[in-house]
Structure 1
Amino acid sequence: MKKNIQNILFIAISIAFLGFTGCKKQELAEPKAVKIVNLQIRGTKGATDTLEFVKDGKVIAQTINNNESFNLADVKVSVEDENSSLTVRLKGHNEILATRKISSNQFDQIINCYYDGEKVYGNFVTLKIKGYASSGILELVLDGKTIGSGTGTELSKIMSLGVDDGKNRQLQVRKQGETGILLTREIPADQSAQSLAFYYDGTNIFDKIDIGQPVNPANMLLSIKFNSKVNIFQGPADMVVLKEKAGVFTPTDLRIEIKTDGSFSNAVELPSLTAEAGTNYFVKIVKRGTNDDLPYDFTNSVKPIKPESGRKLITFTPGSSSILVITDEKVETTVGPASRRGTVINLLVTDIAQYFK
């Protein structure tokens, strides 16, 4: 009897064991569920390289060979779990530039990337730069790499800068050939449109200038900074304000004293011209205290000295302010008809108020 009971128990345990192992084998053999998702791959390239988007070793999409924005829509891929990913590389290269996660829980998904020629970022910001250098060449340096340079108005441009979420970048301005930093600006990753304005006078850089406003909104505020580049200039000098009508120039009582240290003059307010149809404002550089004498030594210059020398039209805009950076040039004409021969001093003007409004 005891032996029969043992046999029955042995058979029962064996059946249970076989059932358990059978279930395990069945569970292991069950394939993973595969889902199809729809990708929209979009972004911008700052270089002409072709980007390839790769999943499981296969190229599923690629950009065309230009440096424009791209939008690759309706890219269908299969995913098995939350560990699926997409890699980005250059065509013809194996190095992975970036990896993007693909979710298995969402059908429509957007993959963003910006390629700057070296690295792929998750997004980009647009930086509008309005810069002016009155002398010297300045460099724009992003995270230690020079991305632009120039003098005068050459530094004014609109740039796209790659960013990753939560990671700010740093832009610096320095003089070409030097390591000292003139200006540093943080580029937040969460602001899609940003701006930077600055003025460099050859020694100091300003990213803020209080341009002020005229007391009377019908008038215009005017400030001047002058730096001569002509070796026959003899200061000190003033800028006298003239009124012009039908080719006749008449000095006003307004006079701007040019600072000898290269700084900006005190501002003067130009009265409205509304009641004087056909009248324009000009400024003329003169010897200090005079209304007409040019502050130049013309002893060895080609004669005659043209009457328009040293004059410059002022664009009058009611309620506005102008900050004029002025320099000069000497032009001599020795050939052609007698009416063309002679020397003229031209004033070259840049209104930097536009950078700080």
Structure 2
Amino acid sequence: LYEAIIAAKTVPWARLGVARTEVASGNLQQARRTLENLIGDLPDYADSHDLMGHVQMEQGDLKEALKTYQTAATLTPGCLLRLQRCGSLGFYTGERADALKMLERAMSQGLRSKLFDMLSLVLIGLMRFDSKDYKGFKYVHDAVAAALERAPGSIRLQRFELVFRGLAFLLDRRVGQAVIVAREFTEHASSGNFDLEAASLLTALWIRLSSQELELEEMMPILRDLGMRHCAAKASTEILVAVTEAHLGAAEQFRECHQKIFSVAETAMRHSLRGSAKIAVELLIQQGEQTRNAKLIDMAGLVLKRHAEKIEGAHELAEQIEQLSGLYVKPMAGGPAKRAAGGVALRTASAPAETPTETA
């Protein structure tokens, strides 16, 4: 049916629906081909550029995703979501001047809009901090503080406020107080809903502390823990690498974390293919619990489901997986706050990643 829809060159929304289904099933390469054909036939169809940008993001190609999102934004200049999407991704790809222009334009157009994502203010705040723009920094800090007053129970806004407090102390040269705030934010990292967005902001705060000529021995172990939890895919790894700025050691450590998570998954699949599915599941549970990595926990469940009849004690293993899933997977799997800044996917537990899969 999907092939027939594509071959018939039917209405664009139908072909886009095919691509969405391919993305949902993890078939990113096929989705990319479907979208390339659709964009070739209808280059002015903005929704297809949105999905193509999402696919490129999932594949870790942030710069190409930015170009694609910029095309979508150009086609719909009044779209607040697309403007934020370009601005936030511009921040992560190092295009800071353009990112600042787009995010501030979005702020001026729709700060009180339901489509405005407060992460945009945090990214503006980071850039204003880096340029030592005290007035611009205070403006966005006040905006986040006002939003927190309106929604005092929002954990997300509380974390944004911690970032601003830490940066404000640094601007005032109160480095000791900034370290205390960073440590307070770090305490959040063990919670189930501490997603990639929060991890990237915690990283950004510690990196700016380290630039104050301080000896922060605690920073690298903290960032390593974040990497082992969130570097399950190339896309999430590149996001964390992007916020390390010029700290080469931190960037390299995140890439090493990605490789370690991939190696764990590969080892587990090797055990499974050799008939040792129980060892595979136990390895994934043990590493998933240790790292809080949602991808490893999900994989443990998938392997167990496939081989449950052959695994002794499958019920007990399933209970362990369910417990870990309840702690570290389900808290990030949905809800009204799942949408990221302008749609840049920083808030999902795990996206289709390049983890090894069983072929037999």
After TM superposition, the score normalised by the length of structure 2 is 0.22
Greater percentage in helix: 2
Structure index of larger Rg = 1
TM-score by length of 1: 0.22
Structure with a larger share of its residues in strand: 1
Q: Which structure ranks higher in relative contact order (CA pairs < 8 Å, sequence separation ≥ 6)?
A: 2
